[in-house]
Chain A
Amino acid sequence: MAFPQTPLDLEVDLGVGNTYMVSGSVPSQVNVFCGGGCWAYETGLFDAITGDFDLKIDVAATDWTPPVDQVLIGKNRSFGLVTNNLSWYLVLKANGTLQLTWSPNGTFASARSATSTVSTGFTNGSRHSVRVTMDADNGFGGCTVTFYTSSDIDSGPWTQLGSAVTSGGTTSIAITAAEIEIGTTNDSKPGYAVGLTNFIGGIYAVVLLNGIGAGSIIAAPRFNQQDPGVTQFTDINGTIWRLTGDSVITRDYVDITSDVNERGKIQIKRGRPNETSTSDPTSCHLELANTAGKYSPRNPLSPYYGVLNRATPIRVGVGAGSSVLTMKQPQYDFAFCYDSAGVSLTGDQDIRVDVDLSAWGSVSTTLAMKSFSGQSSWLFLVVNNQLLWLWSSDGTNTTTVTSIPIPRPSHGRKAVRVTHDVNNGAGGNTVTFYTSDSISGTWTQLGSSIVNSGTTSIFDSTSEIVLGGWSNQGPPFRKFYGFDMKNSIGGSSVANPDFTLAAAGSRMITDGPGNQWFLAGSSEITDQDWRFSGEVYEWPIAWDNTGKDVYSQIAAGGVLRRLNQGTSSLHSTLWYAMTHNSQVKAYWPCEDDSSATQMASALPGKPAMTVTAGQTLVKFASDSGFACSQPIPQFKLSSWSGTVPDYDNSQNNEFNAWFLVHINTPVAADTPLMRVWCNSPDTPIWQLSVDNAGNLRLIAVGPFLNLLLDTGAIGFGVNGQHLRISLELRQNGANIDWAFLTYQPGDPSGLFFSGTLNTATLGKCVRLDFGQDGTLDDVSLGQVSVNCPILGLFSFKQETVAWVGETAAARVARLCNQEGIGYEVTGLIADTTPMGPQRPKALLDLLKECETTDGGILTEPRNFVGFSYRTRSSMYRQGELGGPTVTLDYSSAHLSSIKPVDDDQLTKNDVTAKREDGGSARQTLDDGSSLSIGEIGRFSTTITSNVQLDSQLVDKANWNLHLGTVDEARYPSITVELARNPFVQSSSLTKAIRNLNVGDKIVIQHMPAWMPPEDVEQLAIGFTETLWNFLHTFQVTCQPEKPWHIAVYDNTNSRYNTMGCVLVGPVNTVSTSLSVFTPSGPVWTHVDGDFDINIAGERMTVTGVSGAGAQQTLTVTRSVNGIVKSHQANEPVNLFNRVYYGE
């Protein structure tokens, strides 16, 4: 074996570094859900500062001389645009100085400011504490502002920055209603309007004292003491600090590669370890030198004291040779550069993006944009596998054009381009899309140019150029390699960040034309090819007898391991929707267990609904007829009552009370169903009742029990149905508009009856009673809520049907988003199996249900902690349609070992597919073929999945029968050593192996003579990687790929096979004229050109067909695959490339 000259370019990072808040948002993006910072609001505490104060902030500015002035911290709402709300704010100015601005009366017009006399002079990206003190009355008839810097916010020492800034007249600080906001303009556009942007960099801590030096602590948010990922926390005063937008608390990784013991191999396992149907948790084992106890948890002398826990982040990488910008959050991770004259092109556009997406078919992914509300120039998106170009000529009104679908594969790296000729010379404008394999590659036009009538122009907006971010509907994990914006079609670049050349870890790069590009959120520039990302869960300490060799053989895993440890079920789909909607003011799911005695509120701290009568009668958890809910209770003659917490209806004087109900047995006579109590002086009671025929009736009753409204019985036919019923009440001037509505989950429409009660006051809803007269019996009711403003009848439509019909990959994405877990979906999300209801199960069970239902592979990604889902259809026909294929050559010594096995591990010839709580379908193979029941016996299995409809089951059964009856060897272990010469000599081959992912196709050519002559075609389903000194070994677990050869319409490699063609007579080894007989169905044709056939293992190319009847003569080229043999009469004649129907 020839070893490479140098050891592996290995990097092991441990998440034990500094913790801080990443602040780096685009202020203009607030209106589109980006932007961010941290804020708190404490009226009494914050208002204590009216004069002297002492402000310290510990920060690392990405650019200490930023392109635009940046707000470090402030108590200042809307920068003067909302009057009387300016107290003070501190700014890092573009020239590197610090500036304090304050207002004695809260107005921007009266604002005073002081600027440090010198700049900080700090190196970009370096961390420092800066301080400003305000002496509001310096004793000499003026005020003095002094700036300082230090390396330690708490212990100093502080070095004065330039001279103290004294101005005439004593001063004061206005008490305003403004929050304290850190690192953000928050209200953004007003700040932007006065030339300010958010702070870009890391913020570690803030200390604000009332008075100078020894004053009381007014605010002290310590970002460096928070856990990564928290979105709110309290400081020493109990003040709640909340993070918004793309601001995130993160902890730096520390490179601990030098502590990795070379004697210990790093072993990483990922994917399916064998031919089982599910992946094992990803694992990583390595050994750390621990002589000084650095990796001993709870060792007070360890530099990592307090941060070595059972979920310490770790990642292992090898040098990638170039850098890339990675993003993990779809919405809040992005890169941007500020607006400038250079990028403000109003004429022709030529924009190119080089990006790697796991799913080009996701709902919406932002490639690049220069747009925010009212300042829209253009957006370049991927929407459902099509490129979308949107532009505006006035900043507001937009025009959109889309391309044809992007060519497969629907995942991986592509360069895409749009050109816009705003005046095509023929009275119109023309948009053209292109694709390429790299941004510098050859562009292939994507469909026809799109010609629009009329010439146009591009609005010169003040928006930044943003790469990524904005949409929350795209794949979270993305890689950006480059962006290029030309000054005309094919012209010179005006913005062209090349992230492949950027320094790893940098948060700012400068492109060729001089634009500075900043990273936001958890975006990262890395030069590593990450092989593992996970969390250390085991810190064993060991040493030899001398005590000189101390080490820790740590074990790390991912989210799959953590979830396997056992978690409770997720709540019902409606519970999740209701508890995440601010309009819901009171909510009782009524999902309590069978021995419950009251109905708990799902809103924290809110009162339960009580059983006011018939405590022992109510039958909890007895009706499971609503898929969106856990079982709800039956009345059984009981009565319930719930107090509605007070809520603010000042903006919307309205509410609705709604619930799910199932009247299983009709009531005897008109029976109160729900009584709504309001704090109205004239209309305190509204009552909805039901009668024997299922009619509904609404009455309103005055304070003296005087009847104000009686609709009489209205035909709704509610008996026997599973319904949502809503009573909507809205103050309309002096009157109350009322309506009651019913909706059966899944229906496209509902029923309603409405009217107006004149001269009436609504008030707030204060109480709900159900079954108050104790006559509701076989009636189930649950999911009760009071909503203000009114929630429409069709709100939570998908949640109400428990997401029935949602595709498997969409469910994976939604669940991961919901639970805050990173994910990637490889393949077209829409091209996965429609699913049945999402029942309350543990998250992992739900994700595995998606995997089983679709037939893809759920595993964990290499680049981040989370889930990776490979769709079934993305594994169809790879090479031609589906993506990267690794081709290895046995004869060129690419393989270190290969072990084919012919066994029955995968064999299933009797498959029953069952739908959870539904029907089943069974398919068997018993046609006399080699793996059929009559030949090898019965190998049966039952697959339970959550398909939407029973009609899907027969395909599910047959597809699995197909996979279980492939007559091929499987390759449980194919081993490749990247230290071997063929890989050392070929960076592309090395890269291909490194990129090989779960579900990818692997081809092995030129197998030895004792093996069948054809290429080995397998799917990689699992990996074991070993990194040690010079070696990087891949052991790949595989399964046959041939069953995934799905037919492609109008593709030359997809042909119909005949229905049982055979040789008419014997054929010698050289004859090129074969007489064949096709007993039924259409016969062979050569209309579409040559094709290959297979007769007893000999591959032949058919170059001509004569005869149109059942007996034909084929003209062939013999022994195409090197097999020379004679054949007997009746030998089957089949296509060589046989293709199948997909599921």
Chain B
Amino acid sequence: MVFAGQEVRVGDAFTSWTTYTPTFLNVTLGTGATVTGKWRRVADFMILLRFQLTLGTGGSVTGNLGVTIPGGLSGEGTLRQTLPVWAFDSSASGYYSGVAVLQNGGGPNFDRFGGPSNTVGWNGTTPFTWASGDIIQGQGWVDVTT
């Protein structure tokens, strides 16, 4: 929040990073899993979001993969929003890039992941079979409603 008469400073547009713990949808984290996330506001109605999941022992993806944005925020859903994501298959040392897609109409969840090309709907076996040590990362701008 800025007020009339305040000097225009770069920090006005960027708040400090705030940590949050994202919830990954349709995921069994497994023992020793690590879930981290942080975000900062970069403008009115826009945040910069980062999140990462490393599956623990026994971890798996049980359905369509998804992730939540920080509590109290809601993704703006006039148009579909996407967020760049990246996945690492530890067993095959394979890298997959894709996008997370905000739920239809907006809301707190990126409720599906997709990519690379022609690969839609990341789930337990797509784009690979998820297991302990596999990683999901995402980072990007999200238009929010507040």
Contacts and interface: CB of A to CB of B under 8 A. Distances in A.
Given A957-B3, A1057-B10, A1141-B4, 5 more contacts: A958-B6, A1054-B8, A1080-B16, A1140-B7, A1141-B8
B11 A1141 contact: no
B33 interface: no
Question: Which of B5, B6, B12 is the most central at the interface, judged by chain A CB atoms within 10 Å of its CB?
Answer: B5
B8 A1142 contact: no
Interface in A946-991: 954-963
B2 interface: yes
Nearest to B12: A1056
A921 to B, nearest CB: 9
Interface string B1-26: 01111111111111010000000000
Kindly list the 10 A-B residue pairs having the minimum CB-CB distance in the complex, ordered from nearest. Answer: A962-B5, A1143-B4, A958-B3, A1056-B10, A959-B4, A955-B4, A1059-B11, A1081-B11, A959-B5, A1047-B8
A1047 to B, nearest CB: 4
Contact of B8 (A923, A961, A1139, A1143): A1139
A229 interface: no
A962 B6 contact: yes
A1140 B5 CA distance: 6
A1143 B9 contact: no
A948 to B, nearest CB: 15
Contacts of A1138: 7-8
Nearest to A965: B5
B3 A1141 contact: yes
22 contacts: A954-B3, A955-B4, A958-B4, A958-B5, A959-B5, A962-B4, A962-B5, A962-B6, A963-B5, A1043-B5, A1054-B8, A1056-B9, A1058-B10, A1082-B11, A1138-B7, A1138-B8, A1139-B7, A1140-B4, A1140-B6, A1141-B2, A1141-B5, A1141-B7
Interface string A551-588: 00000000000000000000000000000000000000
Given A1080-B16, A1081-B14, A923 B9 contact: no
Nearest to A963: B5
How extensive is the interface on chain B, given as a class?
A: 10 to 19
Nearest to B2: A1141
Given A1080-B16, A1081-B14, A1082-B14, A1057 B9 contact: yes
A1057 B11 CA distance: 8
Interface in B20-44: none
Contacts of B16: 1080
Nearest to A961: B5
Question: Which of B4, B8, B9, B13 is the most central at the interface, judged by chain A CB atoms within 10 Å of its CB?
Answer: B4
Contacts of A1143: 4-5
Contacts of B11: 1058-1059, 1080-1082
Interface of A: 923, 954-963, 1043, 1047, 1054-1059, 1080-1082, 1138-1143
B9 A1141 contact: no
Contacts of A1058: 9-11
A962 B11 CA distance: 18
A1080 B4 CA distance: 23
A923 B10 contact: no
A170 B9 CA distance: 93
Contacts of A1140: 4-8
A1140 B2 CA distance: 10
B10 A1059 contact: yes
A822 B75 CA distance: 52
B69 to A, nearest CB: 22
A716 B5 CA distance: 47
Nearest to A958: B3
Contacts of A1141: 2-8
A793 B1 CA distance: 41
A1047 B10 CA distance: 12
B7 A1057 contact: yes
A491 to B, nearest CB: 49
Interface in B27-79: none
A176 to B, nearest CB: 66
A1140 to B, nearest CB: 6
Contacts of B10: 1056-1059, 1081-1082
Contacts of A1057: 7-10
A1062 to B, nearest CB: 14
Contact of B9 (A957, A961, A962, A1059): A1059
Contacts of B7: 1057, 1138-1141
A1056 B8 contact: yes
A955 B3 contact: yes
Contacts of B14: 1081-1082
Contact of B4 (A956, A1056, A1081, A1139): A956
B139 to A, nearest CB: 16
Contacts of B3: 923, 954-955, 957-959, 1141
A1080 B14 CA distance: 10
A1141 B2 CA distance: 8
A867 B14 CA distance: 44
A233 B11 CA distance: 68
A1043 B14 CA distance: 24
Contacts of A1043: 5
A877 B82 CA distance: 39
Question: Which of B2, B9, B13, B16 is the most central at the interface, judged by chain A CB atoms within 10 Å of its CB?
Answer: B9
Nearest to A1138: B7
A1138 B10 CA distance: 12
Contacts of B9: 1056-1059, 1081
Nearest to B3: A958
Nearest to A1055: B8
A961 B3 CA distance: 11
Contacts of B8: 1047, 1054-1057, 1138-1141
A958 B3 CA distance: 6
Contacts of B13: 1056
Nearest to B8: A1047
Nearest to B1: A954
B141 to A, nearest CB: 15
A923 B1 CA distance: 14
A956 B2 CA distance: 12
A1059 B7 CA distance: 11
Contacts of B5: 955, 958-963, 1043, 1140-1141, 1143
Nearest to A923: B3
Nearest to A957: B3
A1140 B6 CA distance: 5
Contacts of A1081: 9-11, 14
Contacts of A1059: 9-11
Interface string B101-118: 000000000000000000
Contacts of A963: 5
Nearest to B13: A1056
Contacts of A1142: 4
A327 to B, nearest CB: 36
Contacts of B2: 1141
A1080 B9 CA distance: 11
A958 B4 CA distance: 6
A109 B11 CA distance: 85
Nearest to A855: B4
A1054 B7 CA distance: 11
Question: Which of A959, A963, A1054, A1140 is the most central at the interface, judged by chain B CB atoms within 10 Å of its CB?
Answer: A1140
Contacts of A956: 4
A956 B11 CA distance: 22
Nearest to B6: A1141
B8 to A, nearest CB: 4
A963 B6 CA distance: 10
A963 B7 CA distance: 12
A1141 B3 CA distance: 7
A898 to B, nearest CB: 27
B60 to A, nearest CB: 39
Nearest to A1058: B10
A951 to B, nearest CB: 11
Nearest to A962: B5
